[in-house]
Structure 1
Amino acid sequence: MSAPVGEGLNEAPNLFTPNRYQGLNVLVTGAAQGIGQAVAQRVAYEGGNVFLVDRAELVHEFATELGTATGVKVGSATADLETWEGAEAMVAAAKEKFGNIDIAINNVGGTIWAKPFEHYAPEEIEKEIYRSLFTTLWSVRAELPALIDNGGGTIVNVSSVATGGINRIPYAAAKGGVNALTGALAKEAAHHNVRVVATAPGGTLAPERRVARGPGPEGEQAKAWYQEIVDQTIDSSLMKRYGTLEEQAAPIVFLASPEASYINGSVLPVAGGDQG
């Protein structure tokens, strides 16, 4: 059974930094569950106002519970970030709520299918690229003018060490694109006082998703291909385990914060030693 949306919101995250985000307006995509939800929770407990975006309606329930638990300003919107129109509407809604955006954390993405590349249908490849590259590409394109107009800010993209993984080549290609976007835009946007950085998570333990990314493995062969991903992920990690949501959220929130003001263009692997 999946956990309630707001489970644990009345307890502060471990080792958080009070007031680190005081007075800052933070946009978080993919915020209804998983890493995005953990990031939003930590930012709110550190004093930041958060605007939460997801394709799932349950993001509104989470936003209400987070605002009640922390006392910060919390807004929310549903958007299809695989489209330019969705990304543009997201930024407009965040600006309407808060007036400006200081930080954008782009977290949407994730493998839909798990299988060797020769078994992907062309339409499946396109869907993987739209889910894990275009969601970030469109989001950044929509966020950047708002940050420039605000006199600067920070973009944190969530990539993946799966750029070196098996049985998800389209996802690996998409996240490789996120890495390239991060490095190139950091150079281009620096004179606008905009930092662009990323983390590259490895395998992460999380509660059962309330909104699934895809159909899930069906049949013995599909389950075996997925198990190969799990085995390779653990084997590639020097720590021989999956990470936790807090272990993923903490470096994201650090990189987005003023404490990381001299870090730019970097992609930080957060995968127990797996460099991707």
Structure 2
Amino acid sequence: MSALLPVGTVYPGRFDGRVVTVTGAAQGIGLVVASRIAAEGGSVILVDRSELVHEVAKELREKGFQAHSVTADLETFAGAQSAIDEARQQHGRIDVLVNNVGGTIWAKPYEHYTPEQIQAEVQRSLFPTLWTCRAVLPYLIEQRSGTIVNVSSVATRGVNRVPYAAAKGGVNAITAALALEAAPYGIRVVATAPGGTDAPARRVARGPAAQSEQEKGWYQQIVDQTVDSSLLKRYGTLDEQAAAITFLASEEASYITGTVLPVAGGDLG
């Protein structure tokens, strides 16, 4: 196991004195965000339901960074509340929450989804953000400061992922509506909307891999549409996604709230 340290530009000291909780931090975008913030001086709390998150936090500590790990099922409010409570106990405050949990489980035209699969997609990609925002908000209001960065998706306008698109549309709505409510307390709520992103093979799969030729074809339609919708005609990198998230999480973005920033090579979603 090797924690992915950022290969792009790092700004030492940008998160000095800041306590940042990152969900879905065992791999992918969440891991790179947590690593970048740690490298920039932040104290990071990595949350994931996979035990792999403990290996990531351990490796970050071995590199001299401040990192603590928490396992929790954020698809339930009880899991979200326990994770946020433990994160706050580590340093007595939370300055930033990055809500990164979510991801397509199945890829197919909507008429082929079962009711159970539709519910599972929404449970995976909407409720972790909904629950963790609710869990952290009283702490941020008490502090009268803080930033929530949600990770949405430009797949809100994409093929073969209607339930996932609906969930991420909900994340966009949370971002806009909660920003209005939270602003009087000095709290910012923002989001990025990643497009297609190249990443190493997942160590914990989101769902079953495509098996039949038809399923493989449906997934390829997503890839083709994603590239075609991007003006740059390519997938992004993990570091390109992390750069946008860490910017919005930083004090450099102090006058930005209620905004969803597409990070998709020109695809606005």
Range of TM-score over shorter length: over 0.9
Q: Shift of residue 13 of structure 1?
A: 3.4
Q: How many pairs were matched up?
A: 269
SS in 2 for 1:166: coil
Q: Shift of residue 73 of structure 1?
A: 1.9
Q: Distance in 2 between matches of 1:14 and 1:252?
A: 13
Question: Which residue of structure 2 lines up, in the alignment, with residue 269 of structure 1?
Answer: 262
1:156-235 correspondence runs (5 A): 156-235=149-228
Q: Distance in 2 between matches of 1:102 and 1:38?
A: 19
1:9-88 correspondence runs (5 A): 9=5, 13-69=7-63, 71-88=64-81
Is 1:5–1:33's contact at 8 Å kept on the other side of the alignment? no
Q: Distance in 2 between matches of 1:47 and 1:13?
A: 16
Structure 1 stretches of at least 4 aligned residues deviating more than 6 Å after TM superposition: none
Q: Shift of residue 148 of structure 1?
A: 1.3
Name the amino acid aligned to 2:108: K
Q: Shift of residue 151 of structure 1?
A: 2.2
Name the amino acid aligned to 2:191: A
Q: Give the TM-score, by structure 2 length.
A: 0.98
Name the amino acid aligned to 1:48: G
Question: Which residue of structure 1 lines up, in the alignment, with residue 252 of structure 2?
Answer: 259
Q: Distance in 2 between matches of 1:175 and 1:32?
A: 21
> Residues 29-63 of structure 1, C-alpha deviation per residue, up to 9 Å, x if partnerless?
00000000010010001000000000100100100
Q: Distance in 2 between matches of 1:13 and 1:19?
A: 17
In structure 1, stretches of 5+ residues that fail to align are: none
Q: Shift of residue 218 of structure 1?
A: 1.2
Q: Give the TM-score, by structure 1 length.
A: 0.96
Q: Shift of residue 118 of structure 1?
A: 0.3
1:142-153 correspondence runs (5 A): 142-153=135-146
In structure 2, stretches of 5+ residues that fail to align are: none
Q: Shift of residue 26 of structure 1?
A: 0.1
Q: Shift of residue 99 of structure 1?
A: 1.1
> Residues 202-231 of structure 1, C-alpha deviation per residue, up to 9 Å, x if partnerless?
000000000000011111000000000000
Q: RMSD of the TM alignment (CA)? A: 0.8
Q: Shift of residue 150 of structure 1?
A: 1.9
Q: Does 1:136 align with 2:104?
A: no
Question: Which residue of structure 2 lines up, in the alignment, with residue 102 of structure 1?
Answer: 95
Name the amino acid aligned to 1:145: P
Is 1:13–1:42's contact at 8 Å kept on the other side of the alignment? no
Name the amino acid aligned to 2:7: P
